[in-house]
Chain A
Amino acid sequence: MPNDQRPETNDYSIIGKSVAMIDAAEKTTGSGKYADDLSLRGMSPASLRSPKRLPKRRSS
């Protein structure tokens, strides 16, 4: 859309404004926790085991 046809954004509270990312600091300092970063009391490690051979598949 050409600039002169854009609606005035002054009336809006968010559109047209630069909004701060609320979690940026956690991401850039490494303090944010992802699933792999969590450690809970009594937590056990688990892993998936797949069969060495897969059953024959019938083509139907």
Chain B
Amino acid sequence: MKKELIELRVNGLLHELAIEPSALLLDVLRRDLGLTGSKRGCDDSSCGACTVLVDGTPMLACTLLAFSCEGQEITTVEGISEHGSLTAIQKAYGDWGGAQCGYCTPGFMITVKHLLSVNPDPTEEEIRAALSSNLCRCTGYTQMYQAIKAAIEAEKKGMATAK
């Protein structure tokens, strides 16, 4: 298929790419841009390992055409660290064992980032509901809930200290 030019804004950087109109966003991110943090898990929009933010909304890159994202801001797991340092949730995942094999973790990072951006102080039920879009085959969900709660506490303390 003939390639066409597209401008994609990923993690704040504008890329001009020649891609097939049928190219999936996940393939463009992983193959053309070398951003392999977003994972191909199930490849049929069941598992959430490929979750990225498109204009702030979590989307599954494995079933999304890259061309449909032109002009929108795409954020992958590579783009969520703040000024090169780990965010509270990334640090808490390490402290609480939220990542086991780690393959599903980038998708969870995006989902949690979105949850906390729309709801900075979610209830246990709201955390569980948000995480239902992602699957972890190691089944380490309990550690993830602990990590997320710890990260929220850390953020609150941080904000209190800043005041």
Contact = CB atoms under 8 A, between A and B. Distances in A.
Q: Do A and B bind each other?
A: yes
Interface of A: 20-21, 23-34, 36-37
Contacts of B63: none
Contact of A34 (B76, B93, B103): B103
A33 B37 CA distance: 8
22 contacts: A24-B93, A25-B94, A27-B99, A27-B102, A28-B77, A28-B93, A28-B94, A28-B98, A29-B37, A30-B37, A30-B76, A30-B78, A30-B105, A30-B106, A31-B78, A32-B102, A33-B36, A34-B39, A34-B103, A36-B36, A36-B39, A36-B40
Contacts, number: 57
Q: Identify which of B35, B37, B95 gathers the most chain A CB atoms within 10 Å of its CB.
A: B37
A26 B105 CA distance: 10
B81 interface: yes
A31 to B, nearest CB: 7
A37 to B, nearest CB: 4
A24 to B, nearest CB: 3
B38 interface: yes
B111 interface: no
B131 to A, nearest CB: 15
Given A20-B94, A23-B102, A28 B86 contact: yes
Contacts of A21: 94, 97, 99
Interface in B34-58: 35-40
B89 to A, nearest CB: 8
B30 interface: yes
Given A28-B109, A30-B78, 20 more contacts: A21-B94, A21-B99, A24-B94, A25-B94, A27-B99, A27-B102, A27-B105, A28-B86, A28-B93, A28-B98, A28-B105, A29-B78, A29-B81, A30-B35, A30-B36, A30-B109, A31-B78, A34-B36, A34-B39, A34-B103
